[in-house]
Amino acid sequence: MKFLATLLFSSLLAFNGYGQAQYEISQDEKHPEVKVLRGIVNKYLVQNDTAFRWYTQSQGYYNPDTATLNAFERTKGKVQYVVFGGTWCEDTQFIIPKFFKIQEKSGVPDDAVTFFGVNRAKRSLGSISSAFNVTLVPTIIVMKDGKEIGRVVEYGKTGKWDKELVDILNQ
């Protein structure tokens, strides 16, 4: 399974650089007024769509601390992030905009993050979420040299997802 994840991740890095949208839009089966993005998406797609007003609202009041920004800055160019989230999911709506605020403030380039939208079954296009064994969202996976070095699932083990990411980066 690790070999498959490494192979998939290497392919994603190459694919991500093309900037093409590889996603589908559907309605949430439980809430038809909710738009679901599934596949490779990016923060700008979510940030600029009025259907996702939660993005700007969630990002607005969050200010990452110096230790968090320093950890992201120090590992810039050394790690990649594979992020899974559901546009329908309240945990994703709370955490992912904050993750991207850290990314932006620390100067981590956009191409260091691959963002997958999933449906309620936690499935992305191409079964990537299954290959990475994603069962809950959001899931933020930190990769180094094509291998997973850690992940934070939902709010993490302590409820401080951003501090847990720092711990992974400080390994």
pLDDT tens column, 23-68:
998 988 888 889 999 999 999 999 999 999 999 999 998 999 999 9
Could you give the domains of the chain?
A: 2-169 (3.40.30.10)
pLDDT digits (tens, 9 = 90+) for 85-104: 999 999 999 999 999 999 99
List Cβ neighbours of 131 (8 Å cut-off, separation of 6 or more): 1, 4, 5, 8
Question: What pLDDT score does 169 carry?
Answer: 98
- Hey, is 62 helix, strand or coil? coil
Which string of b and e fits 128-163 if b means at least 16 CB within 10 Å?
Answer: bbeebebeebbbbbbbeeeebebbbbbebeeeebbe
Residue 96 CB neighbour total at 10 angstroms = 26
The structure tokens 């940030």 sit at: 47
Please provide residue 141's backbone torsions phi and psi, each rounded to the nearest 5 degrees: -110, 130
CA distance 91 to 113: 19
